[in-house]
Amino acid sequence: MKIGYARVSTQDQNLNSQLDALEKAGCERIYTEKQSGKRDDRPELQRCLDALREGDTLVVYKLDRLGRSTFKLLELTAEFEKNGVDFVSIVDGIDTTTPVGRFFFRTMASIAELERDIIVERTQAGLQAARARGRVGGRPQTPKKDVERALKLYDSNEYSVPEITDMTGVSKATLYRAIKKRSE
């Protein structure tokens, strides 16, 4: 049986192109997931792996959909080989039933990890450059006067917390943090 696995990293991304390719490849069952490939706790991937039996073929659209680290990918394919499961990556042209396919798989796994490392390195360099120019990441802080107004409304005991957050625009978490900080 051909079993497909499709994954995107965020909820905003869409699986359609992967699903179309997996269906075209003849997958009878397809597992889908919206989580980072860096995470090891991907429930749909685990369900997919649990469903694989000897003689089955796991099909993915692209190698990095299965995992980001070379170690994890090689670990998975070693498990596939041990259990008599074939592996196919459509875009990468990998088919582990052949020696050349196994070679390409290992090479492409290394490249996928390199690509991820380069992205992380560029992101870190960009963040450092921004900090050096005085830019700070994260959400903008709630103006102090808004927090003080929310605290006064809270102290008046006339309004509920949801009413205070609606009137001031101060989030519930910010309000409770200010209350806690004040009492310390």
Say if residues 4 and 60 touch (Cβ distance below 8 Å).
yes
pLDDT at 53: 96
**Is the pLDDT assigned to residue 30 strictly greater than 90?**
yes
**Is the pLDDT assigned to residue 154 strictly greater than 90?**
yes
**Is the pLDDT assigned to residue 51 strictly greater than 90?**
yes
pLDDT at 96: 82
pLDDT at 79: 84
Give the residue ranges of DSSP H helices in the chain: 16-24, 43-51, 70-82, 99-132, 144-155, 161-168, 172-183
**Is the pLDDT assigned to residue 143 strictly greater than 80?**
yes
pLDDT digits (tens, 9 = 90+) for 62-102: 988 887 777 777 778 778 888 989 999 999 888 887 888 77
**Which range has the worst mean pLDDT, 28-32, 39-43, 155-159?**
39-43
**How many CB atoms within 10 Å of residue 5?**
25
Q: Is the pTM of this model over 0.85?
A: no
pLDDT at 39: 72
- CA 115 to chain CA centroid, nearest Å: 16
**Is the pLDDT assigned to residue 38 strictly greater than 80?**
no
**Which range has the worst mean pLDDT, 12-21, 68-77, 88-97, 136-145?**
68-77
**Phi, psi dihedrals of residue 96, rounded to the nearest 5°:** -75, 5
Cα distance between residue 137 and residue 66, in whole Å: 31
Paired tokens of 40? 């090891």
How confident is the model over 119-135, as a mean pLDDT? Answer: 91
The full set of domain ranges for the chain reads: 2-128, 144-183
Helix (H) or strand (E) holding 27: none
**How many CB atoms within 10 Å of residue 63?**
22
Exposed, middle or buried by CB within 10 Å (0-12, 13-18, 19+), for 57?
Answer: buried
Question: Which residue, among 5, 1, 24, has the nearest Cα to 62 in the 3D structure?
Answer: 5
Torsion sign, CA atoms 105, 17, 66, 87: negative
- Catalytic positions: 9
CATH of domain 2-128: 3.40.50.1390
| Percent of the chain residues topping a pLDDT of 70 | 98
pLDDT at 133: 92
What's the mean per-residue pLDDT of the chain?
A: 88
Phi-psi region of 93 (alpha: psi -120 to 50; beta: other; left: phi over 0): left
More confident residue, 125 or 113: 125
pLDDT at 17: 93
pLDDT at 125: 94
DSSP conformation class of 89: E
